[in-house]
Amino acid sequence: MTATSRLAITGTALVVAVGAGAATYALWTADGDAPAGVITAGDLDIALRPDSFTWQETSPDVAAQQSGTTRDSFAEFVAMSGDTFTVSQGFTTTLEGDNMLGVLSVSWGTQPQLPAGVSASYRVLDAADAEVASARLGQRVEVRDLPVGEESWTVEVDLTFAEDKPDRYTTFSGTDPVEITDLGTIVVDLDQVRTGTGFEQ
């Protein structure tokens, strides 16, 4: 038997609106229509951690890097070409029951749309902030052999805006369309498996 619990993190995603020398952002809302699943034989559960959204400017040439813990503060951030920053969202997995072993996967319900000049990658961190998986944005990763218990995880996305596109993010030329960087819909699955390290037959 295989059971699955799914969590969708939808991207109204990273919206970069060019105009008046500023860019505005919005990122990730929990999909209220995709609650964590529960099975009757044991428990297989996954959910967003409350208040775990953060963003951090990481541009190495910026002395006073900005950060925040709300989507509103991120929306007010003014971007420049060459900027880099990290956006993260935490979630929790729960496995309970005999002979319960899980595999965590991160994939995309809808693929991200990155315009020229924007690059992105992501990683999955465990409760100790150790990287357990990483890939380019839009590629699937797996974390196998999750044991019984509750664990905390974080998905971090690193975004880089190219330095050779000065008009793209800082000025409005009147000819270029608004740039939209869509992170797509990030889907986190927790599956019960019957083989792997720690499974007893």
In order of 2, 9, 22, 62, 177, the CA distances from 172 in angstroms are 52, 31, 9, 23, 9
Q: According to the model, what pLDDT value does residue 9 have?
A: 55
0.75 exceeded by pTM: no
Sign of the dihedral defined by the CA atoms of residues 171, 175, 178, 184, in that order: negative
Q: According to the model, what pLDDT value does residue 7 have?
A: 54
Could you tell me which residue, 56 or 80, shows the higher pLDDT?
56
- Residue pLDDT, tens place only, 9-31: 554 333 333 322 333 333 344 33
Q: According to the model, what pLDDT value does residue 51 have?
A: 85
- Residue pLDDT, tens place only, 93-148: 888 777 677 888 887 777 777 767 778 888 999 999 999 999 998 888 999 888 78
Q: According to the model, what pLDDT value does residue 170 have?
A: 42
Measured at the CA of 144, the angle between CA 148 and CA 46, to 5 degrees, comes to 55
Q: According to the model, what pLDDT value does residue 87 have?
A: 84
Q: Is the pLDDT of residue 39 over 50?
A: no
